[in-house]
Structure 1
Amino acid sequence: MTTVNVNNTLHTFQNSLSAKQLLEHLNISPNGIALALNNNVLPKSKWEEPLENNANILIIKATQGG
C-alpha cells in the first residue's frame, strides 16, 4: 500500500504509482503544471518513476495574470 500527500490531502493506493499515474488518477492534465516532490521540483523526465510511500507532492498550476 502506498500513501501520498497531494496538496495537503492524503491519498492511499493499493500499489505504488508514478507521478504521471497519480495525475491520471486525479484527472489532472499534465499540461501547464509543475510538481514538487518533498519540496524539490520534480523534472518531467522523472514523472514516470515510482513514488515512495509517504511522498509529499505539491501540484502547482500555471495561471495567467498581469
Structure 2
Amino acid sequence: MITIQLNEQTLKIDKNIKISELLQQENFPQLGIAVAINQQIISKSNWDMQHLHDGDNILIIQATQGG
C-alpha cells in the first residue's frame, strides 16, 4: 500500500495502481476531466501507463458547463 493525496484527501491505495485504475476505483468519469500529478498535467494517452507513487499529490478537475 502507498499513501497519496487525491483532491486534498489522504488515500491509501495498492502499490502498482495506474491513473486509469484510480479513476475507475474512485468512480471518476473518463471524459471531461484533467489529471495532474504533483502539479504536472498528465495526458489522457498516458493514463494507462502512469503509475502512482507514495506521496504523490493528484488533482482531478472535472469540466463543467456554465452560463
TM-score by length of 2: 0.88
Q: C-alpha displacement at 1:27, in angstroms?
A: 0.8
Superimposed CA distance per residue, residues 6-36 of structure 1 (whole angstroms, 9 cap, x where no aligned partner): 0000110233201100001101111100001
- Residue 20 of structure 2 corresponds to which residue in structure 1? 20
- Write the mapping of 1:1-66 to structure 2, written as runs, cut at 5 A: 1-48=1-48, 49-66=50-67
Unaligned runs of 5+ in 2: none
Unaligned runs of 5+ in 1: none
| RMSD (Å), alpha carbons | 1.1
CA distance in 1: counterparts of 2:24 and 2:14, whole angstroms: 16
Count of aligned pairs: 66
Helix, strand or coil at the partner of 1:16:
coil
Give every structure 1 segment of 4 or more consecutive aligned residues whose post-TM-superposition deviation is greater than 2 Å. Answer: none
TM-score by length of 1: 0.89
Superimposed CA distance per residue, residues 20-63 of structure 1 (whole angstroms, 9 cap, x where no aligned partner): 00001101111100001100111112112211111110000001
